[in-house]
Each structure stands twice: as C-alpha cells, then as structure tokens.
Amino acid sequence: MTSTTDSLRNPLLCDFNTPHQAAPFHLIRNEYYLPALRAAIDKARSVLEELKSDPEPPAFDNTISRLEEVTEEVTLISQIFFNLHAAETNDELELVAQEFEPILTDFYSDLNFDQQLFERIRTVYNSRNESGLTGEQLMLLEKTYTAFVRNGALLSDEDKQQLRELDQKLSTLSLEFSVNALKAVKAFALEITDEKDLEGLSDAVVHAAAECAARRGKPGSWVFTLDAPSYGPFMKYAVNRSLREQMFKARASVAYKDSGFDNSEIVKQIATLRHERARLLGYSSHADFVLEQSMAGSRENVYKLLEELYEASRPVAEKEIQEVADFQYELEGVHDLQRWDFSYYAEKMKKRRFDIDETTLRPYFQIENCTNGMFIVAQKLYNLSFRHTTDVPVYHPDVKTYEVHEETTGEYIGILYLDLFPRDGKRQGAWMASYKRQYVKGGVDHRPQVSIVCNFTPPVEGQPALLSFDEVSTLFHEFGHALHGLLSQCNYRTLSCTSVYRDFVELPSQVLENWLMEKECLDLFAVHYKTGEKISEEIVRHLKESATFLQGSVTLRQLSLGLLDMAWHDGNPASVSDVGDFEEQVMKRTELFPVVPNSNTSCSFGHIFRGGYSAGYYSYKWSEVLDADAFEFFKEKGIFNPEVAQSFRDNILSKGGSADPVLLYKRFRGKEASVDALLRRAGFISRHSGQ
C-alpha cells in the first residue's frame, strides 16, 4: 500500500499532544502506518550509525544503553499497530499488515546482523566483570548480548542470509495463520428460526442472539456465533443436542480442512521453519532454543512437571467423566456422553451438587461493579486509585480509559485502557497489551500505558452486562498482567513491565484470580444488580466447594495442549504428513472421549502459532505452581496483608525482567515454590497433609 501522506503531518511521527502522550487514536488512519514505520526506521538507522561511529571505546552507556534509543520510536509505532491489528482490524488494515510485518522483520534482521554493532556489544560483554555495573545493568547487558547471539550474530554471512529468509517466511506465515483463524470464526453463524430450539438458554443469551441476528440482517431470528459469550452459554444450556453438536463441530474444526481458511499446511510450515531456525543456531530443536530462556530451563524439566500433573489428574479426570456419564443416564436413560454433551450435563450436575450455576452467579457480577471491584482490590493491595477519563483518545467507543495514581501521594502511575466486548474485527480470547512500556530516560520516569482486551457477554436491551464467574476470573487475570505492566519500576524499556520469562509472566495474572474465592474480596463488589444485596455466605461456600469440580478434566485438557505444543516443537516436524493424524497420536494419551472426525486444535492454536507461547504453553501450569504457592502465603498472613502485598509489588510486579525470576520469587516467598500447593488447591491431595 502506498501513500502520499506528508510525514511531517503524520500523527504517529509528531508529538502526540495528548494527555500523558497517549496514542492519538482519533487522528490515526490506516494510511499513516507504513510511512510512519519507514520514517522511524530511517531515524533508527541514523541513530545506530552515530552509536557505531562513537570514537570513545565501547562501554555500557554509549553502546548498550544507547541501543535502547535506536528502537524506541519503531517500537512505539509497532505496538500501536499490532495492538489495533488484534483489537480493531479491518480489510484495509490486513493489507497494511502484509507490508508492515516484512518491513519490520527486515529492520530487526539488519540490526541483529550488524557485525560492527555486535563487536561493540561483545567488547562491553567481555569486560563485564570489571565494569562496576549495577545488577540491572548487568542483566540488560547479558540479555542484549544473548539476544544478538540467539538471533544469529555469530553465524557466517551465508547462514545469516538463510536466517533472514527464515524469519521473513515465519513472519508472513504467522500473519496468514491469524487472518485465517479470525475469518474462519467470523464465517460461521448458527441461525435459529424456531423458538423451541432456544430451550434452556437464559433471556439474556436469547436477547443477545436476537441482536446479533438483527445486526446481520436477519430480524426475527436468533444467531449464535463462535465468540465466547455466544458459544459458551449455548454449549452449557441449550437443550437441543443436535444444535450443540453442530456448534461444537464448527468450533472444533476452525481453520481446518476449510477450502477458504485452512491452516493445515501453514501449521506444518511454521513448525518446520522454526526447527530449521533452531538447528541453524546450533540447537537440536525449537523447544531447546526457547527453553534456554525460561525458568524451566530444559525439556526434561517441562516433561517432569507435565508428567507429575498427568499422574495426579488422569485418575481424577476418568472418575469425573464417568460421574457425568452416569448423571446423563440418570436424566436421559442413555449412556452416550459425547464432547458436545459434557458442558451441558456437567453444568446440570454442578447445579444439583453445589446449588450453583451461571444463572445463580451472573446477577452478582454486573460488569461495572466487577471493574470497580478489581480497582478496589488494587487499592487495598497496592494503594492505587483509578480515575475514569474521557480526555485520553480511544480507538473504539467501547473502550474506556483510566488514569492510575498512587492514592496517598497522587503520583501518576500510568494509563489503563479497558476494551471488554466482542465485535467484528477483534480476535478471539482475552489479553493484556502494552502501548508504552515504562523506562527512565534523562532522569524522567516514562510511565506505562496498557490495555485489557476481552470478549465478554455484552449488555442486552433492558439489562446491563452480567458476567459469568469464568469471565470475572478472566478479567482479574488480565488485570494481574496490567498491574505487572503498570507497577514496573525499571530503568530500561527492554527489561520493564512484562518483559520476563514466559513461564514467569503468568504469575501476576493467575495469582489475582485467587482473590475471587474469598468472601472478603467478593463483598467489595459482588452485589445483586437488582436488589443490591451482597453475595451470600452460602453462595460463596458453594463457590468454594465447586472450585475443584472437574479439576481433573480441566487439568488434563491443559496438559494435552502443553504436550501438543511440545510435540510440534521438540523434534523435527518435517516428517508430519497430516496435521490431524499427528495431533490425534500426540493427544491420544490425554483423551477422555472418542476423536470427533474433522476436529483439530493446532489449526486455530493461536497461542503457539501466532502468539509467543511456542514451546511455552506449559508455562500456564508452571505459573500455577507459583501462584498457588504465593496465594497460600497471602492466606497465611491475610489476603490484604500490606506487608505481603508490598513484598509482592517490590519483588515481583516492579522488577520486570531486571533480575533472575527464581531469585525474585524466593525474595518474596522466602523459599522456592512447591507443586504441593497446586495439588492441594485442585483437590488432588489433602489440604491437611502432603498426601
């Protein structure tokens, strides 16, 4: 895409002239991105030449620290672009992305292969023991040197060219994967014209389906999609079994064997190219390459954790499946539990056993109360205040912005964007993203700007948005990531915020979910949207009792995804002839149901084929070990204990990647984490013994 836009008037290249220099979304148009990126790269190359031509001997300040400036503007523009590409894309932006990614990849390849620059970095690195640098500076030096080596700095010119070509191919393929998955999800719609087929669904879900139908030009009918707020309730509550089966099979086959959006070959190519890249860099597999930079440290440690959890969860999961199957027989007189039945009967069984379900809980979780509740939790733990502002530009009317301050001193902390409802152009799932990371430059602390993006149940006519408990947990999860970004107190952008090992980054997010099981926390915001009554002791008791419900099955599913990820990346995937057959063999050990024909996870597994979790999906379980152990510490001292909270802020949230995460956790907890806390929380071993 070309443009004659005058770069001097391009808002991405000017002073933003907005509160806190927030992104000027109200001024940005799609045609601005490529000129801005090219101009920022030209500027970066100029700064890089100044760095390399510095007549002074290479040192930390004139090389490592200065390198942070080289990519500053490129990073800013890229973060804005990619965040919007995920949250608010359109056909025009997709075309821009096809040019944007290769240009960016080329720039970073040029940077990583610049031998003169690398020699300066290596000179500083080799004298690090006599440098007198601080711990944070040593960490930045170590990570800078290692990053260049891991990106090919020590390769021959011929191998560097091969690596550059691999990176370009991977960039293009990962974009194609994402586009196909999004289009495949959006292409499906289940239209219901007979009201009888809505049996079991709540009024709110039915209203939302009617509104969806009206937006699609089908008034008088009801449309259900594969977006979570539509798909989830349908699978749990719709009585019509054949329609549940249709929905399930549509979701399970996204971007698989679809002539228009098939990701099968793309998945094989991505995995194969990653393997080739790792081998070129001297590693036996992509998994070895990734795990070198992780808390786990090796494939052996990953498999050890997955195996330990498998042995604990498999017998529990088998028992759970049988219980749900028996429950189906009790209700229907048949033993024929299929995948599309599991959520439906499990929800009914949960209701009977614990007298609790989504319909019981949703009225207590009006979305405005939930967002206010998480702000109160942050205030009680970390002395933060959140003030809604309309002065900061947004990229969509749904988005709300908040200025974050220290409550007692008024000190400015950062900006938080909330974008919580599904719409066309937003990809599936929930995530936290950074528009600006925190860093210190010229004595000025540049504060972060982060966003939480979700796809929650939207409000319907006559009723506010009422969240399921799972959605509230997701909100708190992403807010934990946001706090990790907002409370960063590092000197260097490369190390700040969530720039940590993948198997450490989920600790701040997952630990915050634990507060939702405590009455002391729920009393802060969980009130019935009609009566104003607080959530009762009885409901909270049932909520806690149900916390381990189907944990064996949930754990086994997570383990299956972790093992699938490792299978794609721990070895040479070039021999894979069929994605479906490969996946079926890998996941056979963790399956609890017969395989559904034409179903496939890999072809829409964005975490590992588009996101940053390749050879890292295990990290959710690794981080669960940490978060369960950490929350036990909070519970021992009090969930809002100021000393424990301050220690968590000082040692975890504020440090980013400026220190070894193993040491950071030990400073907070006083010891290394044990898997026992997670096994206790899941109900796999006794809470009163180690058995």
The Cα angle at residue 506 between residues 501 and 509, in degrees rounded to 5: 140
Which burial class, exposed, middle or buried, applies to 347 when counting CB atoms under 10 A from its CB (0-12, 13-18, 19+)?
A: middle
Which residues have C-beta within 8 Å of that of residue 611, sequence separation ≥ 6?
Answer: none
Which burial class, exposed, middle or buried, applies to 277 when counting CB atoms under 10 A from its CB (0-12, 13-18, 19+)?
A: buried
The one-letter amino acid code at 459 reads: P
Three-class DSSP category at 684: coil
**86's tokens:** 């995920």
Nearest by Cα to 267 from 256, 278, 276: 256
Residue 636 catalytic? Answer: no
The Cα angle at residue 604 between residues 600 and 609, in degrees rounded to 5: 120
The one-letter amino acid code at 666 reads: K
Cα–Cα dist 174/97, whole Å: 11
Nearest by Cα to 160 from 112, 119, 102, 103: 112
Cα–Cα dist 492/140, whole Å: 8
Cα–Cα dist 297/278, whole Å: 16
Cα–Cα dist 496/469, whole Å: 31
Cα–Cα dist 308/327, whole Å: 30
CA–centroid distance for 604 within its chain:
15
The one-letter amino acid code at 84 reads: L
DSSP 370-416: HHHHHHHHHHHHH-EEEEEESSS--SSTT-EEEEEEETTT--EEEEE
What are the helix and strand counts (H, E) for the chain?
A: 28, 9
- Cβ atoms of 271 and 568 within 8 Å: the answer is yes
Three-class DSSP category at 284: coil
Cα–Cα dist 39/32, whole Å: 11
Three-class DSSP category at 279: helix
Helix axis angle, 264-280 to 551-569, nearest 10°: 60
Cα–Cα dist 579/601, whole Å: 10
DSSP 502-551: HHHHTHHHHHHHGGGG-HHHHTTT-B-TTT-PBPPHHHHHHHHHGGGTTH
Q: Which of 478, 506, 624, 632 is catalytic?
A: 478
List strand residue ranges (DSSP E) for 337-496, in order. Answer: 384-389, 400-406, 412-419, 431-436, 439-441, 444-446, 449-453
Q: Report the length, in residues, of the chain.
A: 691
- Return the residue matching tokens 């970066």: 44
Cα–Cα dist 426/88, whole Å: 5
Which burial class, exposed, middle or buried, applies to 54 when counting CB atoms under 10 A from its CB (0-12, 13-18, 19+)?
A: middle
Q: Which residues are catalytic?
A: 478
